[in-house]
Amino acid sequence: MAKAHSKTMLAFGDVHIPHHNPRAVEVFCRAAERLRPDLIVCLGDLLDCGQFSTHPPTHGVPETDYVDDLREANALLDRLQTVCDRLAIVEGNHEYRLDRWAAVAAEGRGAYSMLAPRIRLTKGRSKCTYVPYGSADGRYPHYAVNSRIIAVHGWSYARHATKNHLQISQGKSVIHGHTHRADACIIQNIWSPGKVVQARSAGCLCKPIPLYGTGRPVEWVNAFILGYLGRRSDTLYTIPIMDNRCILPDGVEVAA
């Protein structure tokens, strides 16, 4: 439970609908319903958008209709929005596939307004902020959680991506997705003695085995981030999802 005068935040990413893990998504939703956070942040790649990929479909993997994927994503956002005060969606590189497709295909430009996630996922939503993946003004796309923490989809996929995010963020704490790994890097803030800055990867809520199959084990983890945001400092936790349950910092088990 958050202490007085602090706010509660949940952050999740890389659901990759329709390749999501239904049990992991259900655990996250039930955690949100229990905690009823002030803010929920989606860190991108809510949709896979494989229908608009330049890569050929994976052999043996059933293809879905994009409209059905949109319906599934909106149903998830509807459920989450009923238990939080604010919802923020940071666009990922997979949703950005629609922009690239629309840029090179005449039919894409005509259908963009009917298909684009930034339009279809926010329509009719109050207290919802959508941060586009691309930048037309040269500024780095991000969502400011507060004056100390920013949320981005991901600036790196390297093995030490989370540490790289902390180096790039220049004194800000940062939460990110994109890597599908659950990782954290915490260092002393040299500009504010006694305080720390941290970068934290949220893991993913998609099926933990990649559909493209590289032939080697991967480090993907179903997980999400829980944060307590105070007036002067913040405490962040990475909550791993173990099959169909997770354990919150207060010891409470949440099961699907």
Q: Is the pLDDT of residue 214 over 70?
A: no
Tell me which of 110 and 73 has the higher pLDDT: 73
Mean of pLDDT over the chain: 91
Q: Is the pLDDT of residue 20 over 60?
A: yes
Give the pLDDT of residue 1.
Answer: 59
pTM above 0.85, yes or no: yes
**How many residues does this entry show for the chain?**
256
Give the pLDDT of residue 74.
Answer: 98
Best CA proximity match to 189, nearest among 147, 146, 148 = 148
Residue 108 DSSP label: H
Asked if 69 and 47 count as a contact pair (C-beta separation under 8 A), the reply is: yes
Q: Is the pLDDT of residue 219 over 90?
A: no
130 forms bridges with which residues in the sheet?
89
Each residue's pLDDT tens digit, 139-168: 889 999 999 999 999 999 998 999 999 999
> Confidence class of residue 185 from pLDDT cuts 50, 70 and 90?
very high
- Calculate the alpha carbon distances from 223 to 54, 189, 206, 231 in Å: 29, 26, 10, 26
Q: Is the pLDDT of residue 131 over 70?
A: yes
Give the pLDDT of residue 235.
Answer: 95
List Cβ neighbours of 161 (8 Å cut-off, separation of 6 or more): 154, 155, 176, 178, 179, 181, 183, 201
Q: How far apart are CA 111 and CA 103, in angstroms?
A: 11
- CATH numbers and ranges of domains, the chain: 7-52+63-144+208-245 (3.60.21.40)
Measured between its terminal Cα atoms, the distance across the chain in Å is 21
Pairing of strands 234-240, 173-176: unpaired
Each residue's pLDDT tens digit, 35-49: 999 999 999 999 999
Residue type, 224: F
Asked if 200 and 154 count as a contact pair (C-beta separation under 8 A), the reply is: no
Give the pLDDT of residue 211.
Answer: 53
